[in-house]
């Protein structure tokens, strides 16, 4: 949050010269700068952070949740998730669009040999990744192992920011750093 406070002056200057400010939903400083300069803004989300069917993403009353209420745009909220995975809720309003996943063109990926040998086989493995999620890595990893126990499938666990997979794992689970989803 300190970085956002420090960036306000520059963001206000940039917003004043822009036609539209496009920002991630947690980058409240960008939304605040757009509001201060009366510049239209577009919120980008990689998971919905809207109130739906009586609940909010933080489990609290959305009116009291300044982070989320300040970050949505009346102009356009883009949620980069498949509508087959998370359909748009009617409560989200017309400015919100569930627009499907976004993909970057990435250089060809050559997996580590041990991971390549593990994933090759008749049935593709299940890949679990939690990206920037933080928390108790050992506890979360234990819960994941318990959840997939008995599936009789190979599991690739991407360690993510939490550093998952630092406990002994069963033979059907391999941990790796990020790998391209394709």
**10 and 73 belong to one structural domain:** yes
Contact call for residues 155 and 133 (beta carbons, < 8 A): no
pTM over 0.75: no
Q: Is 176 left (phi over 0), alpha (psi -120 to 50) or beta?
A: beta
With respect to residue 13, please indicate whether it lies within any of the assigned structural domains: yes
CA distance 26 to 4: 10
**68 and 133 belong to one structural domain:** no
**76 and 140 belong to one structural domain:** no
| Single residue among 70, 98, 126 that ends a domain in this structure | 98
CA distance 24 to 45: 6
With respect to residue 6, please indicate whether it lies within any of the assigned structural domains: yes
User: CA nearest 4: which of 67, 76, 73, 78?
Assistant: 67
Task: Give me the percent of the chain exceeding a pLDDT of 70.
Answer: 85
| Single residue among 68, 98, 128 that ends a domain in this structure | 98
**87 and 135 belong to one structural domain:** no
Q: What are the tens digits of pLDDT across the range 164-181?
A: 999 999 999 999 988 887
pLDDT of 133 > 60? The answer is yes
Q: Where are the alpha helices (DSSP H) in 52-174?
A: 66-71, 113-119, 137-148
With respect to residue 148, please indicate whether it lies within any of the assigned structural domains: yes
For position 69, what pLDDT does the model report?
Answer: 61
With respect to residue 108, please indicate whether it lies within any of the assigned structural domains: no
CA atoms within 13 A on the CB side of 166: 10
**87 and 160 belong to one structural domain:** no
With respect to residue 55, please indicate whether it lies within any of the assigned structural domains: yes
With respect to residue 103, please indicate whether it lies within any of the assigned structural domains: no
Total domains, the chain: 2
Count of CB atoms situated within 10 Å of the CB of 150 = 7
Residue-number span of the structural domain to which 35 is assigned: 2-98
**46 and 129 belong to one structural domain:** no
45 contact partners, CB below 8 Å, separation of at least 6: 24, 25, 77, 78, 79, 80
Residue with tokens 């550093």: 163
For position 72, what pLDDT does the model report?
Answer: 73
């Amino acid at each position: 949050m300190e970085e956002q406070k420090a960036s306000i002056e520059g963001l206000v200057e940039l917003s004043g010269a822009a036609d539209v400010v496009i920002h991630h939903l947690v980058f409240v400083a960008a939304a605040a700068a757009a509001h201060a300069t009366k510049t239209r803004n577009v919120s980008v989300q990689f998971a919905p952070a809207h109130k739906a069917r009586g609940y909010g993403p933080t489990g609290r009353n959305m009116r009291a949740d300044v982070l989320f209420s300040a970050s949505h745009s009346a102009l356009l909220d883009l949620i980069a998730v498949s509508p087959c995975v998370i359909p748009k809720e009617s409560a989200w309003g017309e400015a919100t669009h569930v627009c499907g996943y976004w993909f970057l063109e990435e250089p060809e990926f050559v997996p580590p040999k041990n991971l390549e040998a593990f994933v090759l086989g008749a049935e593709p493995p299940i890949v679990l990744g939690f990206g920037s999620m933080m928390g108790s890595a050992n506890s979360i990893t234990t819960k994941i192992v318990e959840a997939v126990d008995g599936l009789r499938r190979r599991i690739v666990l991407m360690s993510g920011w939490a550093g998952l997979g630092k406990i002994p794992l069963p033979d059907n689970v391999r941990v790796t750093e990020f790998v391209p989803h394709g």
